[in-house]
């Protein structure tokens, strides 16, 4: 019998420190620059202070990019511009330093961690530290079968929790979260449509490589068919992930919830991370207070999910490549907000007038 009860996260997750946030707001009011003149940077600095329980806020010194990887059986239907089962090629390029996220991470001095949960390849094709959490080879075709068995779903969820603990224990002070998948945006669309009560067409986007109209229609049909299988299990979030999510999305959901337990701030990337965050919000309503939405990718499912969680993207650059790229673009903005909140001097105190 399983010992995992995800409802426990409701009690385990606390909001960032409200008292510290009020202290940070008071500190802002005393600074030499006019209140409000730094726009959302002030809000970011105060959010970080509350997350860290520290005024002034500490600098972000040990950020980490964490990418969960997997292939999805639904890609066999031609819903992606990439060939089904080819996510391993993207992972190899990330590890070799040839993907956009690799270039930005190198420039910013941020390490990148890839976690294989369900790549459709021999595990020996990748380094041991990448594959050691793998649950299965590829996730099921969610329009006609479950993505995972109940046992695989629990294993994937626990793997995500374990990765969150590993990062917190190693001193990571902010996570840039992304995915490396083929077919992942289709699974994400199903989750968002199911949890928001919308039709498939409302959440169906064109993915990172902008699929053509025929592929979009195939994707829309796949989401519609999977949605029929998702609706009966909406009351059980782990079962929902097993039915229409996949190992990588299930692990990401566990990661997000455990990161909130460990009080580790997370920057969300695109539609896949947003869908996982939406599932996590259903599990523990306070958890979104620990996350930032990095950018608006243009995917309708992402916009729907972020709106439901009341998360406003920091950037809008039209980045659709995924793999944490858009989220990593927002990192300097977050670091700048921390620096400004900590280092701007306060206004000099005027001497009291004598009678």
- Is 170 in the same domain as 315? yes
pLDDT-derived band at 310 (thresholds 50, 70, 90) equals very high
- Is 130 in the same domain as 166? yes
Q: Are 111 and 125 in contact (CB under 8 A)?
A: no
CATH code for position 133: 3.40.50.10210
Of the residues 58, 75, 90, the one at which a domain ends:
58
Average pLDDT over residues 115-134: 96
Rounded to whole angstroms, how far apart are CA atoms 27 and 20?
Answer: 10
> Does 350 map to a domain?
no
> Does 32 map to a domain?
yes
> Does 19 map to a domain?
yes
Name the domain count of the chain: 2
Of the residues 58, 78, 95, the one at which a domain ends:
58
- Is 67 in the same domain as 48? no
> Does 347 map to a domain?
no
Given the residues 29, 167, 323, 350, the one annotated as active site: 323
- Is 126 in the same domain as 29? no
pLDDT, tens digit (0-9, with 9 covering 90-100), for 2-20: 678 999 999 999 999 889 9
- Is 238 in the same domain as 213? yes
CA 333 to chain centre: 17
- Is 242 in the same domain as 271? yes
- Pair type for strands 63-71 and 174-182: parallel
> Does 353 map to a domain?
no
Q: Are 135 and 148 in contact (CB under 8 A)?
A: yes
Rounded to whole angstroms, how far apart are CA atoms 89 and 69?
Answer: 11
Give the pTM: 0.94
- Is 51 in the same domain as 68? no
Other Cβ atoms less than 10 A from the Cβ of 72: the count is 32
Domain of 265 in residue numbering reads as 63-333
Who contacts 296 (Cβ-Cβ below 8 Å, separation ≥6)?
Answer: 302, 303, 306, 313, 315, 316
- Is 224 in the same domain as 296? yes
- Is 210 in the same domain as 112? yes
Rounded to whole angstroms, how far apart are CA atoms 49 and 338?
Answer: 8
Q: Is the dihedral of CA 58, 62, 63, 68 positive or negative?
A: negative
- Is 32 in the same domain as 164? no
Rounded to whole angstroms, how far apart are CA atoms 3 and 48?
Answer: 34
Half-sphere exposure of 313 (CA within 13 A, CB side): 26
> Does 153 map to a domain?
yes
pLDDT, tens digit (0-9, with 9 covering 90-100), for 36-78: 889 999 999 999 999 999 988 999 999 999 999 999 999 999 9
- % the chain with pLDDT above 90: 81
Residue spans of alpha helices (H) in 170-310: 184-196, 200-203, 213-230, 237-244, 247-261, 271-283, 300-309
What burial letters (b/e) apply to 246-260, b meaning 16+ CB within 10 Å? bbbbbbbbbbbbbbb
CA angle 174, 179, 182 (to 5 degrees): 175
- Is 288 in the same domain as 141? yes
> Does 52 map to a domain?
yes
323 included as an active-site residue: yes
> Does 50 map to a domain?
yes
- The per-residue pLDDT for 1 is 41
pLDDT, tens digit (0-9, with 9 covering 90-100), for 336-351: 999 998 888 877 656 6
Rounded to whole angstroms, how far apart are CA atoms 270 and 327?
Answer: 8
Widest distance between CA atoms in the chain: 84
- Is 187 in the same domain as 112? yes
């Amino acid at each position: 019998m399983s010992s995992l009860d995800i409802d426990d996260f409701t009690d385990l997750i606390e909001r960032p420190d409200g008292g510290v946030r009020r202290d940070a707001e008071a500190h802002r009011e005393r600074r030499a620059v006019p209140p409000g003149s730094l726009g959302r940077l002030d809000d970011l600095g105060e959010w970080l202070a509350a997350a860290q329980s520290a005024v002034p806020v500490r600098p972000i010194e040990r950020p980490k990019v964490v990418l969960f990887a997997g292939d999805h059986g639904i890609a066999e239907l031609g819903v992606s511009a990439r060939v089904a089962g080819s996510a391993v090629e993207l992972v190899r390029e990330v590890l070799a330093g040839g993907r956009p996220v690799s270039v930005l991470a190198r420039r910013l001095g941020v390490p990148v961690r890839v976690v294989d949960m369900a790549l459709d390849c021999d595990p020996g094709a990748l380094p041991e530290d990448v594959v050691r959490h793998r649950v299965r080879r590829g996730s099921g075709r969610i329009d006609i079968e479950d993505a995972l068995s109940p046992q695989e779903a629990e294993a994937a969820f626990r793997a995500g929790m374990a990765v969150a603990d590993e990062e917190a224990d190693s001193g990571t002070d902010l996570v840039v979260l992304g995915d490396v998948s083929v077919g992942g945006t289709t699974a994400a669309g199903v989750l968002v449509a199911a949890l928001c009560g919308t039709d498939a067409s409302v959440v169906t986007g064109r993915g990172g490589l902008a699929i053509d109209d025929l592929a979009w229609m195939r994707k829309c049909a796949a989401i519609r068919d999977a949605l029929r299988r998702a609706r009966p299990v909406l009351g059980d979030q782990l079962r929902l992930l097993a039915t229409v999510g996949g190992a990588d999305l299930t692990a990401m959901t566990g990661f997000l919830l455990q990161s909130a337990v460990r009080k580790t701030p997370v920057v969300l990337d695109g539609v896949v991370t947003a869908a996982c965050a939406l599932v996590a919000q259903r599990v523990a309503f306070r958890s979104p207070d620990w996350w930032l939405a990095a950018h608006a990718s243009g995917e309708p499912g992402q916009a729907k999910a972020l709106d439901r969680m009341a998360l406003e993207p920091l950037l809008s650059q039209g980045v659709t490549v995924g793999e944490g790229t858009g989220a990593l673009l927002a990192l300097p903005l977050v670091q700048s907000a921390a620096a400004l909140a900590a280092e701007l001097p306060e206004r000099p105190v005027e001497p009291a007038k004598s009678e």
